[in-house]
Amino acid sequence: MRKLVLPAILIALALCAAPVFAADPPAKPEPMKVGSTLVELNTMDMAGKAVTLNSLVKPNMLNVIAFTNSACYACATEASVLSSIKGKNPDKVNLIGVVTDISPNSYKALPEGVKSSFSFVHDSEFQITPLFGFSSTPATALVKGGKIVDLKIGFDPAKSADFVAYIEKNL
């Protein structure tokens, strides 16, 4: 009798686990591209409240979505430059920061004037960032009229003037 118990348990486990291993993983959505309509993206604001990224987008403005991380010096410099651009163009530029840190409090390291220029959302599980085709920070998506105007990876603090010109040409 004991000889039959172990094989029976192994067979039962194999039958139960088979559907788990046989199931196809869910398909990953294709990254958005320049010219694509911004898809509805669910996330959390910095207080943990559910929001959609799209609800932060303003239709008649250039929406600059900056993907940032607290351990990234270039991200902090980019945020300061973007804040300055918004200060000069408050009716033309809307800033949205996507914080990719595990902790939602990491954005608090930014200077107060910079923080107040942005609407921040939290992407700790790195779900939104790849939908834009990004795998690192800093990265920037420009959205205007609900469409992606441009996607840019990286920021060189030594070339801040070039970045300002890049944003201003899209206003």
Chain mean pLDDT for the chain: 86
Q: Could you name the CATH architecture of 29-169?
A: 3-Layer(aba) Sandwich (3.40)
Query: Residues near 150 by Cβ (< 8 Å), separated by ≥ 6?
Result: 34, 141, 142, 170
For residue 83, give the 3-state DSSP assignment: helix
Question: What phi and psi values does residue 92 have, to the nearest 5 degrees?
Answer: -120, -20
Written as six digits, the tokens of 109 are 């390291």
In the chain, the percentage of residues whose pLDDT exceeds 90 is 64
Which residues are 98's β-sheet partners?
67, 121
Is residue 41 within 8 Å of residue 131, measured between CB atoms?
A: yes
Q: What is the pLDDT of residues 69-97, one digit of tens each?
A: 888 899 999 999 999 999 999 999 999 99
pLDDT tens by residue, 12-34: 555 555 555 555 666 677 889 99
Which one, of 68, 117, 112, lies nearest residue 93 by Cα?
117
Name the residue ranges covered by the structural domains of the chain.
Answer: 29-169
Rounded to whole angstroms, the Cα distance separating 132 from 32 reads 5
Other C-beta atoms lying within 10 Å of the C-beta of residue 155: 25
Q: Which two tokens stand for residue 100?
A: 């990719």
